[in-house]
Amino acid sequence: MGLAILAACIPTQGWQRSDRRACAPQSPAVLCLDDATEGLHELRVGERVVLPGECIVAPEDRSGGLRVELHRSGRLVARPRLRVRAGTRTVVGVEGERVEVLSRSTCDDRVDP
């Protein structure tokens, strides 16, 4: 009998921009593009565009893989799958033409710098 592993996926639709500097422990996943990202980069999750220094919040409190698109000067350069978790704030940056996870922090109502 074989073992099946199913990877949960997070929907790309329904994400909302957020300017909150803190997130609650039971909150949906938060994804941010590091404000130190240089150049004309933007991250796209479904129809939502995330610019450097901005964050978006998932429509549901689920964890799993999230397909994102990295664009530079309007051109698609990468389509990685990121692991995002409910109750966690994930900050990504851009290195060359790759999206890299810079940090993951547990949501605990404290204000991030």
Amino acid 6: pLDDT: 47
- For the chain, give the longest Cα–Cα distance: 51
pLDDT digits (tens, 9 = 90+) for 7-34: 578 888 999 999 877 788 889 999 999 9
Alpha-carbon span 25 to 23, nearest angstrom = 7
Give the position of tokens 């996943």: 29
pLDDT digits (tens, 9 = 90+) for 31-75: 999 999 888 999 999 999 999 999 999 998 889 999 999 999 999
Fold classification of 16-106 is: Immunoglobulin-like (2.60.40)
